[in-house]
């Protein structure tokens, strides 16, 4: 390790510029992970996030409801039709603002993730993963909110009177003759993968910063690419 570094120092690096230690290249790894996380978030925008499947004797192949960030697909018409018997609102009435803003939201999250990893300094660098983790969590919380709202705001004049309920967001449940199964879909998994990458980036970043000569003294905004090494020396890696 040491001899190789020495060799590079002699042959390539100008003497007045101190060579960056090997661990310093991890700054690029942080950036790559952050870009990949942002990319996964962006990709998840185009894929379904959640899937509900409802089975009943007269629906042996199930009715499927596919949720994406911008809308719903699958047997929406049929599920709405069935829901009218219990006085549930139309699915299209769910999360209108969220669905409308989803595109901007995803763009904002992607940009924030990138920005957090590249420019956050000082105390903020401990929180760089927050926007990434928040992304799927907010989705889950919002979905739950709408399920509760829908299940509890039933038209009292509907033909069938049932007790207010919360449709299962996760796993299997039973409503009337329907067995319901709810599980995440590809988009959600991509977002989770994005979170994992962001957390990995946080780990690496914490290490990089630990080596920075500005460590502990950097300002709130400290572009990652400006991080300068050699506070503790290469042996720390």
Q: From the CB of 208, what's the least distance to other proteins, in Å?
A: 12
Residue 224, SS3 per DSSP: helix
Q: From the CB of 173, what's the least distance to other proteins, in Å?
A: 10
- Give the nearer residue to other proteins in terms of CB position, either 19 or 34: 34
Q: Buried b / exposed e across 191-206, counting CB within 10 Å, b at 16+? A: bebbbebbebbbebbe
Contact present, 225 and 28 (Cβ < 8 Å): no
Q: From the CB of 29, what's the least distance to other proteins, in Å?
A: 14
Tokens 């929406």 identify what position?
76
What are the residues binding other proteins (CB under 8 A)? 55, 58, 75, 77-78, 81, 85, 126, 129, 133, 159, 170-172, 179, 181-184, 192, 195-196, 199-200, 202-203, 206
- Give the nearer residue to other proteins in terms of CB position, either 130 or 228: 130
- Give the nearer residue to other proteins in terms of CB position, either 101 or 192: 192
How many Å is the Cα radius of gyration of the chain? Answer: 25
- Give the nearer residue to other proteins in terms of CB position, either 133 or 148: 133
- Give the nearer residue to other proteins in terms of CB position, either 45 or 205: 205
Q: From the CB of 233, what's the least distance to other proteins, in Å?
A: 19
- Give the nearer residue to other proteins in terms of CB position, either 29 or 192: 192
Name the region of 233 (left: φ>0; alpha: ψ -120 to 50; beta: rest): left
Side-chain-side CA neighbours of 32 within 13 Å: the count stands at: 6
Q: From the CB of 115, what's the least distance to other proteins, in Å?
A: 18
Give Cβ neighbours of residue 30 (< 8 Å, ≥ 6 apart).
117, 201, 204, 205, 208, 224
Burial class (CB in 10 A: 0-12, 13-18, 19+), 60: exposed
Q: From the CB of 161, what's the least distance to other proteins, in Å?
A: 13
- Give the nearer residue to other proteins in terms of CB position, either 19 or 211: 211
Q: From the CB of 22, what's the least distance to other proteins, in Å?
A: 20
User: What ranges make up the beta strands (E) of 16-85?
Assistant: 50-56, 59-67, 72-74
């Amino acid at each position: 390790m040491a001899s190789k570094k020495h060799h590079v120092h002699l042959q390539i690096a100008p003497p007045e510029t101190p060579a960056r230690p090997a661990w310093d290249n991890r700054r690029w790894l942080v950036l790559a992970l952050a870009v990949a996380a942002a990319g996964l978030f962006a990709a998840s925008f185009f894929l379904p996030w959640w899937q509900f499947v409802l089975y009943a004797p007269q629906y042996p192949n199930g009715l499927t409801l596919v949720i994406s960030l911008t809308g719903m697909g699958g047997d929406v018409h049929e599920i709405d039709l069935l829901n009218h018997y219990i006085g549930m609102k139309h699915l299209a009435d769910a999360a209108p603002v969220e669905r409308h803003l989803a595109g901007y939201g995803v763009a904002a999250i992607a940009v924030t993730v990138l920005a957090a990893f590249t420019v956050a300094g000082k105390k903020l660098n401990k929180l760089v993963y927050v926007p990434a983790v928040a992304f799927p969590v907010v989705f889950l919380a919002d979905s739950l909110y709408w399920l509760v709202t829908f299940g509890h705001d039933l038209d009292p004049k509907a033909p069938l009177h049932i007790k207010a309920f919360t449709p299962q967001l996760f796993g299997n449940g039973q409503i009337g003759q329907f067995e319901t199964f709810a599980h995440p879909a590809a988009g959600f998994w991509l977002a989770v993968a994005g979170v994992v990458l962001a957390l990995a980036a946080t780990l690496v970043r914490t290490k990089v910063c630990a080596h920075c000569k500005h460590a502990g003294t950097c300002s709130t905004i400290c572009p990652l690419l400006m991080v300068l090494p050699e506070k503790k020396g290469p042996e720390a890696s």
